[in-house]
Structure 1
């Protein structure tokens, strides 16, 4: 099963940019998922179990390294990666 996730990270710290950049860089370094970002959120696309595993691992690491943060996520049970050609209804 494929999955699309839109995620936003809000570190509860004055110097929040490094925590956000670190999280996105670690997602981008993961083989098997596609990551697209903009100024408001990051979108992650790939196989369900892999995406959920990566999010679990990297969110935990973010808390351990940078402290308190809020993650806001939306999950869609299909791969809506805009880099892929349309395949009809996903």
Structure 2
């Protein structure tokens, strides 16, 4: 089953850019996922289990590395990527 996720990260820190960049860079290291970033959010497309495992790992890493932040997510079944 394919999954599409739109995720926005809001670090609770005035120097927020490095926090967001780090998260996006880590997402891009996972093969099998399609990651598209724009100025408002990051979209992730791939196999349901793969996407959920990566998000679990990388959200936890964000909390451990940077402390408090807010993640806002939308989960949609299927591949809604622009190339699909």
Cα distance in 1 for partners of 2:26, 2:51 equals 13
| Distance in 1, Cα, partners of 2:63 & 2:15 | 15
RMSD between aligned alpha carbons? 0.5
- How many equivalent pairs are there? 84
Q: How far apart in 1 are the matches of 2:62 and 2:76? A: 23
Query: How far apart are the structure 2 equivalents of 1:25 and 1:83?
Result: 21
SS in 1 for 2:34: strand
TM normalised by structure 1 equals 0.91
Larger Rg: 1
Q: Does 1:83 align with 2:50?
A: no
Task: Provide Cα deviations, 1:23-47, integer angstroms capped at 9, x if missing partner.
Answer: 0001111101000010000000000
Q: Give the corresponding residue for 2:3.
A: 3
Q: Which residue of 2 aligns with 1:74?
A: 74
TM-score, normalised with respect to structure 2: 0.98
Q: Name the counterpart of 1:33.
A: 33
Q: Can you list the C-alpha shifts for 1:44-86, whole angstroms capped at 9, x where unaligned?
A: 00000000000000000000000000000000011111122xx
Name segments (4+ residues, structure 1) moved above 2 Å. none
